[in-house]
Chains A and B, each alone.
Chain A
Amino acid sequence: MNSFNSRYHRQVILPEIGSAGQEKLDASKILVIGAGGLGCPILQYLAAAGIGTIGIVDYDTVDISNLHRQILYGTTSLGINKALAAKQRLTDLNPEITITAYPEKLTPKNAVSLFSEYDIIVDGTDNFSTRYLINDACIIANKPLVYGAIFKFEGQVSVFNYQNGPTYRCLFPEPPKAGSVPSCAEIGVLGVLPGIIGSMQANEVLKIILGLGDVLAGKLFMYDCLSTQSSTFTINRVESEISKVQASANSFETIDYDLFCGVSQIMEITANDATTIENAQFIDVRETHEQPKIDYLDPIYIPLGSLEQKLITISKEKKTIVFCQSGIRSKKAVEILFQNGFKDVSHIKGGAIALYNTISESNLTG
Chain B
Amino acid sequence: MQLNIKYFGMLAEATTISEEQLQTDACSVSQLVEKLKNQYPKLKGTDFKVAINQQLVDQSHIINSEVEVALLPPFAGG
Contacts and interface: CB of A to CB of B under 8 A. Distances in A.
Interface of A: 34, 36-39, 123-128, 131, 148-152, 154-156, 171-172, 174-177, 180-184, 189, 194, 220, 222, 224, 227, 231-236
Nearest to B73: A181
Contacts of B8: 154, 222, 224
B71 to A, nearest CB: 11
B74 A176 contact: yes
Contact of B77 (A126, A176, A180, A236): A126
B75 A154 contact: yes
Contacts of B49: 171-172
A36 B76 CA distance: 13
Contacts of A37: 77-78
A93 B20 CA distance: 48
Given A151-B10, A177-B47, A181-B10, A233 B72 contact: yes
B54 A233 contact: yes
Given A220-B56, A236-B56, A231 B70 contact: yes
Nearest to B9: A151
Given A38-B78, A231-B54, A177 B70 contact: no
5 contacts: A36-B78, A39-B78, A156-B75, A234-B56, A235-B56
Contacts of B70: 231, 233
B77 to A, nearest CB: 4
Which of A171, A175, A176, A232 is the most central at the interface, judged by chain B CB atoms within 10 Å of its CB? Answer: A176
Contacts, number: 90
B55 interface: yes
A39 B47 CA distance: 26
Contacts of B77: 37, 126, 149-152, 183-184, 189, 194
Identify the 3 closest CB pairs spanning chains A and B, nearest first: A176-B47, A149-B75, A126-B78
A267 B74 CA distance: 27
Contacts of A176: 46-47, 73-74
B47 to A, nearest CB: 4
B51 interface: yes
Interface residues of B, number: 21
Interface of B: 6, 8-10, 18, 45-47, 49, 51, 54-56, 70, 72-78
Nearest to B18: A227
Contacts of A183: 76-77
Contacts of A232: 54
Given A149-B77, A181-B10, A231-B6, 4 more contacts: A36-B78, A180-B45, A184-B77, A222-B8
A131 B8 CA distance: 20
B75 A180 contact: no
Nearest to A131: B76
B75 A233 contact: no
A37 B75 CA distance: 14
Contacts of B76: 126-128, 131, 149, 151, 181, 183
